């Protein structure tokens, strides 16, 4: 009865192909990412020689099936995605862009974040006789919101907060401002309304920062500042008009000339004396 060597009827893994090795039937080697089985004794014959080897498994194409992403991803910030045929490289976008999808059947891409309400500026100004908020009005937005947080006066007490519009970056001082302000006093449940035509618009009263209660909060709404109609600005301010009495001021300021404006300027004491202070000034653009 013939003797059968069980070890001779199974595959024998020999590792990476070596041209100096004598291979016998059923030896298995790796070559260029694929595997081959020896079908005839061989020395020095490449595994791609079908007279001596048969291919058992095939390597994928580098960079398209994940076997070698280093050939696809070449630069810091690269991302990889699959298109209709395989893996592809998406290079880094520009600063501030976001990754967005075009939906099913489309490739991802970088795009600029679009929103109807966008913060354009946030600053912490030093105390000054006036704050110029300029250069943010563009055709991208129709309405602008300006917030001044933690406001107070300095060097004067019980003084008015005033507003002027800017044209080409400079505050306009001509007597073309129509304005009115209504105050609601929650302490006495009283109210009053004042107004006028001046070289500025009043927004309400601020207390000196040396007082015990000194911080006011202001919100301005500017409508279509680049239009050629008269510019109207709505104001809503909560502030103290002395050290202890708070009030809420609602106002409208109109620059009565048909022209575009580039910004606004805030000051105290009808731009006559003292400084204005604020913890933060923020500018937002609003689309309609």
User: Helix or strand or coil: residue 270?
Assistant: helix
**Domain-located, residue 90:** no
**Domain-located, residue 5:** no
The more confident residue out of 244 and 31 is 31
Closest CA to 206 of 193, 219, 215: 215
Q: Are residues 41 and 166 part of one domain? A: no
Q: Are residues 189 and 47 part of one domain? A: no
The CATH number given to whatever domain includes residue 176 is: 2.60.120
The CATH number given to whatever domain includes residue 25 is: 2.10.10.20
Closest CA to 148 of 245, 237, 270: 237
CB-based contacts of 277, cutoff 8 Å, min separation 6: 127, 150, 151, 152, 153, 154, 209
Tokens representing 172 are: 């306009």
Q: Are residues 253 and 133 part of one domain? A: yes
Report the C-alpha gap between 17 and 270 in whole angstroms: 90
Q: Do the strands 27-31 and 12-16 form a parallel or antiparallel pair, or are they unpaired?
A: parallel
Please give the span between the terminal C-alpha atoms of the chain, in angstroms, as a whole number: 96
Average pLDDT over residues 105-129: 87
- pLDDT for 208: 66
Q: Are residues 124 and 263 part of one domain? A: yes
Please check whether residue 129 is in contact with residue 156, taking contact to mean a CB–CB distance below 8 angstroms.
no
**Domain-located, residue 65:** no
Tokens representing 5 are: 């060597």
Q: What pTM value is reported for the model?
A: 0.62
Q: Average pLDDT over the chain, rounded to whole?
A: 86
Most confident by average pLDDT, 37-51, 78-92, 102-116, 155-169: 37-51
Q: Are residues 276 and 134 part of one domain? A: yes
The yes-or-no verdict on residue 96 having pLDDT over 60 is yes
- pLDDT for 209: 62
Please check whether residue 241 is in contact with residue 95, taking contact to mean a CB–CB distance below 8 angstroms.
no
**Cα dist. 53→15, 58, 252 in Å?**
14, 13, 90
Q: Are residues 251 and 162 part of one domain? A: yes
Strand partners, 263: 134, 166
pLDDT band at 215, cuts 50/70/90? confident
The more confident residue out of 156 and 205 is 205
Q: Are residues 124 and 38 part of one domain? A: no
Q: Are residues 167 and 247 part of one domain? A: yes
- pLDDT for 184: 87
Please count the CA atoms within 13 angstroms of the CA of 165 that sit on its side-chain side. 29
**Domain-located, residue 89:** no
Q: Are residues 129 and 269 part of one domain? A: yes
- pLDDT for 4: 54
pLDDT band at 214, cuts 50/70/90? low
pLDDT band at 271, cuts 50/70/90? confident
pLDDT band at 197, cuts 50/70/90? very high
Q: Are residues 132 and 41 part of one domain? A: no
By percentage, how much of the chain surpasses pLDDT 90?
49
Report the C-alpha gap between 263 and 259 in whole angstroms: 12
**Domain-located, residue 95:** no
Pick the range with the lowest mean pLDDT from 44-53, 191-200, 257-266: 191-200
Average pLDDT over residues 1-12: 64
By percentage, how much of the chain surpasses pLDDT 70?
88
Average pLDDT over residues 77-100: 84
Range of the domain at 14: 10-57
Number of domains in the chain: 2
Q: Are residues 53 and 176 part of one domain? A: no
């Amino acid at each position: 009865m013939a003797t059968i060597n069980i070890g001779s009827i199974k595959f024998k893994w020999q590792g990476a192909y070596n041209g100096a090795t004598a291979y016998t039937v059923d030896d298995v080697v790796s070559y260029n990412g694929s595997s081959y089985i020896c079908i005839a004794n061989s020395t020095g014959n490449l595994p791609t020689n079908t007279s001596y080897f048969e291919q058992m498994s095939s390597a994928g194409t580098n960079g398209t099936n994940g076997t070698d992403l280093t050939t696809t991803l070449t630069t810091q910030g690269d991302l990889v995605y699959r298109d209709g045929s395989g893996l592809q490289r998406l290079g880094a976008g520009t600063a501030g862009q976001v990754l967005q999808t075009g939906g099913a059947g489309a490739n991802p891409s970088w795009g600029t974040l679009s929103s109807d309400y966008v913060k354009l500026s946030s600053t912490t100004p030093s105390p000054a006789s006036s704050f110029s908020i300029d250069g943010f009005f563009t055709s991208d937005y129709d309405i602008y919101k300006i917030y001044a947080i933690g406001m107070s006066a300095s060097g004067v007490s019980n003084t008015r907060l005033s507003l002027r519009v800017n044209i080409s970056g400079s505050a306009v001082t001509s007597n073309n401002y129509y304005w009115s302000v209504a105050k609601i006093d929650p302490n006495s449940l009283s109210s009053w309304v004042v107004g006028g035509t001046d070289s500025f618009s009043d927004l309400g009263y601020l207390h000196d920062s040396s007082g015990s209660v000194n911080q006011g909060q202001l919100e301005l709404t500017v409508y279509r500042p680049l239009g050629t109609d008269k510019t109207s600005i709505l104001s809503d301010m909560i502030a103290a008009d002395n050290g202890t009495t708070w009030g809420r001021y609602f106002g409208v300021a109109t620059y009565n000339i048909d022209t575009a404006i580039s910004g606004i300027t805030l000051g105290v004491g009808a731009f006559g004396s003292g400084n204005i202070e604020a913890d933060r000034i923020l500018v937002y653009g609003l689309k309609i």
